[in-house]
Each structure stands twice: as structure tokens, then as C-alpha cells.
Structure 1
Amino acid sequence: MAKWGQGDPRWIVEEREDGTNVNNWHWTERDATSWSKGKLREFLVGIVVENEAGRCQISEMKQVEGIIKESGAKHKGLIEIPNLSEENEVEDTEVNVSKKKGDGDVLKELMRTAGTAQVREALGGYLKALKTEFTVGMILPTKATATQELTIKRKLSENTLQIQGSSPVPLGVRIPTVALHMTEMFDTAVEQLYSIFTVKDLVQKFSKSPAILEAEKGGKFQMFDGNITGEYVELLTNKKIIMKWRCTNWPEEHYATVALNFVPTPGQTELQLDCKGVPACKEENMKFCWKQQHFEEIKGLLQLTTLNG
């Protein structure tokens, strides 16, 4: 056996400085951990299942939040996937659902049946992305596929799209969107309600999670463990807040425009929410997010503040 650096160069496999895997000659390894975490969050967080008994949503990785419609009781649970592998059929993937203390058995059953089906469908999307997105550049095209790729590039160039080399080029894709309008009454002064959306400590209290807040024009924000991010576009103290707003499971770089109008009334404040640019497939998730995770939690915070005051 020839020593390293000696012998017939046709039989020596070395790492090229440019990282090219020439003719698919040797295995290429890449750590998929970070990519997979982000992609799984994109596919799983925001999944909603609902029936006449209740409604559940995967609010963050592993965590499920639900509400029983008849009583209005809220419950939390966990969802775990112990055997996810591209070697197994998605239909055989085990999905374990458990609930925390309480009588939320109907919600657990909802997630165990309808929820499991949606989770497996999402996992199928993740595994497909793993094979088509993450492995780009790890296995090079053969001469046959290279010819086909060249034909595709020529067709694209005829449509004035420019592609350099074989690097993937992000092309904008128009997605269907909807507009939402919601109103909610709060038993508090407009000044206090406005501060709940602009003061970090208060945001962390109603969201029950860490938050990053720069409540000024152009300032960034991040809430619900990073599941919601955005930027402040306009702030009129005690009157209006306009934001660029997105969930992590939305199409990459897509933002909705969220406008909050604070209207004082005797002894109360009416909050008018207008959303434009919400992905049509996320409409119900968006309504649930604002109704349950914002409005109801803020009312609970206000009630707690009143009792302690």
C-alpha cells in the first residue's frame, strides 16, 4: 500500500482546498444538527388541530397548548418523536403525546389522533428537505444530469434571470396572503395597555417567556422564545403601534404588517388589530396566536395586577 502522498495519484483521495468532491469520489460529511433544528421548528411550530371539544397548537418545540371549548380551561402538554429517521417510513414514526396535570384528556386524545397525523405529514416535509436542500453540493451531478442542468440554465437566461456557476439562487415566490381584523376590549386605561406591548418586563410576564424589545422606530423585537420576531415601524405613544411581524414557521423572510390601534373608552380600552400579508395557510394559527396567546394572557396579567394592587 502506498504511503500518503506517494504512489499513483489516481488512487490517492485527498481533500481539495476548494472543498470540491471530485466525481463523487469520497464521502462528504456535514453536521445537520443546527439546520435540522431550524427546519423542524419551521415545519412543526404552529400546527393546529381542532374539533368540537377543543383546540390544540404546537406553540414551541415539544410543547403543546390547548383549550377546552366548553369550559375555556387551558392545558399544556408535551410531544416527543423518539425514532425519527430517513430510513423509516414516516407513517411508522412514533409520536408520543403527554399532558401536564389537569383534566385535559380530550385535548390529549385530539393530539394523539388528528395531531399525530399532521405531525407525521410535517416530518415528511422535513425529511424531503433534508434530501433536497441540505445535501446540495454534497453529491455532484453526473454528465447526464449536468446536460439537463445546462438546458435549464439556458431557459432561465432567456427569461433574463442570471445564474452564476451552479450556486443556488433564491428566487422570490409569490404566496397567497390574507388580511385579518380583530378587536378586543380590555378593562384598563390606554396607557397601561400600551405599555404591555412596549415594556420588556410586561411582555415577558404575559408571554411567560424571555423577550428582546427595542421599542423605537426601527427597533427589533423577539418574543415567545424566538417564535415571533419583527421590527417596529411606527410608535405613537398610547395611540398606535405598527410592526413588521413574522412567525418562525412562515416562509423565509416573509413578514406581515401588524397595526395596533388603542382606542380609549370609559373605563376600558378597545384594541383594534389589523394584519396584512398573513400567509393564507397560517390564518387560523395567526388568529389563535393573538386571541389566546396575546389577548387572553394580557387579560390574565391585568386581573392579577388588579388583585395584587
Structure 2
Amino acid sequence: MAKWGEGDPRWIVEERPDATNVNNWHWTEKNAGPWSKDRLKELLLNLKISKNGVDCKITEVDKLEGDASANNRKGKLIFFYEWDIKLKWEGALSGGNEKVKGEVQIPNLSEENEVSEVDIIVTIKGSGEEAQRVKAFMHNFGRDEIRNQLKEYIRSLKEEFSKGLILPKKGETPVKPDNVSTITSGFNKKINMEPVVASKKNQQIGCKLETKTIELSEKLQCRAQEFYDAMTRIEMVTAFTQGHVKMEAEKGGKFVLFGGNITGEFRELVPAKKIVQYWRYKQWPDQHFSEVTFTIEEKNDHTLVRLKQELVPAAEVEQTRENWRRYYFESMKRTFGFGAFL
């Protein structure tokens, strides 16, 4: 078997004049956080919203918390962004005597939601008739203008910021963003990724639960740290599970995968070496958890991952073993290029 960087055309540096990420095969990531903050401030600060005798303006970006990244895998761009934004604004009626001040809160700007679904909450300081009219204007018209700016942020993130992530192969011209297939984390996809489950007639009810242990080993074409990241970084877990993920990768941190079918808790985390989880299927008896240990060992030409899962209900052993192969290891190979060399 070839050693790191030998044999597989994805690793042959001569295929790329700059010798990086041959054929765009491997998962690469670009931090879009600082750029996004500048872009959002540029789009929102001093935004003027005027119509029908009402003039309003965003005067301050009071809060801008979150992060964003652009990722490349097999020539596809995968974007992650999540922002909690608070704006200050002021406005007045033409010929009015009162200057109205207020706030706009945008707590959930992320790829999980369409811009039309993003909450935009308008509040004011004061309760007079003019203040209420201006607030109604911001609620009915101002929110649409703000949504247009958020759409422009997302467009520029995907088209402007992502330039250079898709590298041309040898002899090719640079790839234009509009020629690149773009996908998100999968939060809005109507995909059924539920694990295969055993028939309920095989489950034991009302008696002592018989359990067994599963042991698997898998050879992956990646570094040990890359496999560890694929199991603990929310954007990578989202990519290979193709669904909404909740995860706190720390000791005692909880995780929820595959639409709530898999839940658990991290018990031990040793980067590039070991991961221990409490782990359960939704259909298992209430409060019954197995314990899963991933032992990660990097070799000269591959990384060996050993999985040991204790306390698996006996009736679920074969299905659980198949689910590990299908929904974890095989999916990682397809998504990140961790499979056998071509």
C-alpha cells in the first residue's frame, strides 16, 4: 500500500502547480469569521430605510457574535455560518416632532434557516403615537430591507469570499464561483438519514435486558487528527451525517445526531488518540446507554480506528454493527476522501 503522498494521484503534487489539495479531493476549510463581520457591518451600518414619509436609519451594530467558514470537498463548497446580531436604529415621521429610537435583534442567521425564516425583532423606546407609527414602518417595511442586506451577505460569502477554494487542475483555467456546485450543511434538505432499526418484535420488554459487545476496526486514508476532527467538529459531523447536529465536544458535552435518533455524551477526549462516548439509539429502552470507545492509531500509510461498543441490546447488535459501517465509516470515506486509494 502506498505511503503518505505516494501512489495516489490525489497526492501527486505535480498535478497542481502550487502542490496543494490535488484535484480538490480533500476537505479544506477557510475561516470566514473576520471577513463576515466586516461585510455585515458594511451592509447594515448606516442603512437608510425611507418610504411614505418615514425616514429610518441603522445607527449602530451593537452586537455581532458568531462565526462562519467555507469548506471545499470534491469540488463542492459547503458553507457554515451562525450569527446573533443586534442593531440600533432611529427614525422619524416627515414633519414630526419626535425622534424615535429602538433596536433590531436577529438571533438566528444561519444556513439552517432561509433568510425569509430568520427572526427579525423590532423594538422601540417610547410609546407615543408617532413612535408606534415608526415602529410599524420598521416592522412592515424595514425588516424586508434588512433581509435584502442579509441575502447580499450570503451571496457574497458564497461567491466573493470563496474564490480560490476550488483550485484548477493542471492545464485548467481557474474555476468561476458560478460554475461550482454549492451545498449547505444539509439542515434544510429533505433527506431521510435515519439508521436502520431492528423489528420491534425482537426487542425484549418487561424483563432483564441482554446485552453484548461490538468490536470493529477500520483503516482510513487520513491522519489521526483528521478522523478525530471528523468526530468532534460540528461542521464535519454535519457534512458526513447530512443532517442537523447538536454537539458540545468537551467532557460531559452532549450530542444529538440523525434527527434525534442518536444521542449521547462525551466522556473522554484525547485529540488524535481516543474518544469515549455514552451513546444510544432512540428506539432502545428508556435511559439505556452503551459505551463507545474509539482508539485512534496513525500508521505509516493509514490510520487504524478500533471501535468497542459495550452494553448493546442483544437484539440490536447486527443492525448497530451495520449502522456503524454505513452511516459513519462509509459516509466519512465518501465525504472526506478517507477511503482506499484509487
**Range of TM-score over shorter length:** 0.3 to 0.5
Structure showing the higher helix proportion among its residues: 1
Q: What TM-score comes out, normalization by structure 2 length?
A: 0.40
Greater share of residues in strand: 2
